[in-house]
Amino acid sequence: MHCLRCNREIETGHKSVALYMFAQTVGIKPRQKSAAHRISFCPQCSVSLAMGLPPEGALNMAAWDMIRDLVSSDPALNEAAWKSLSRVSGLLPATGTDGDPTPSGGYFEF
Ligand SMILES: [Zn+2]
């Protein structure tokens, strides 16, 4: 399973948001039903999408609304996104204490 937005791998049992999508005919017999698709977003992308500007397109808008519902109703996803971000930041050397001292100090150099 990969995040649709950033392609990060989402391991089984890890926190993520899953969107299930299928289409079916209404008022037509026999009823036809498409295969169901599962779309996943990692916590970082879920939070980022929810807090960002509304997307374009009716379908994107519907998905955005649902993700916003989840992100705003409980801090668990925010927390998961924060934990993952702080893990990445923890890997960077603390400026001024590790590695080469930079004359400017306090700035990250990428
Ligand atoms: Zn992602």
Per-residue pLDDT of the chain in tens (110 residues, 90 and over written 9)? 999 999 999 999 999 999 999 999 999 999 999 999 999 999 999 999 999 999 999 999 999 999 999 999 999 999 999 998 888 777 766 665 555 555 555 555 55
Rounded Cα distance between 70 and 76, Å, is: 9
Residue spans of alpha helices (H) in the chain = 43-51, 58-73, 76-90
Q: Quote the pLDDT of residue 24.
A: 96
**d(CA 8, ligand 1 centre) in Å:** 6
**d(CA 3, ligand 1 centre) in Å:** 5
Report, in angstroms and rounded to the nearest whole number, the Rg of the chain calculated over CA atoms.
20
**d(CA 70, ligand 1 centre) in Å:** 16
**d(CA 42, ligand 1 centre) in Å:** 4
Q: Quote the pLDDT of residue 110.
A: 56
User: Which candidate, 52, 53, 50, places its Cα nearest to that of 78?
Assistant: 50
Q: Quote the pLDDT of residue 91.
A: 72
**d(CA 64, ligand 1 centre) in Å:** 14
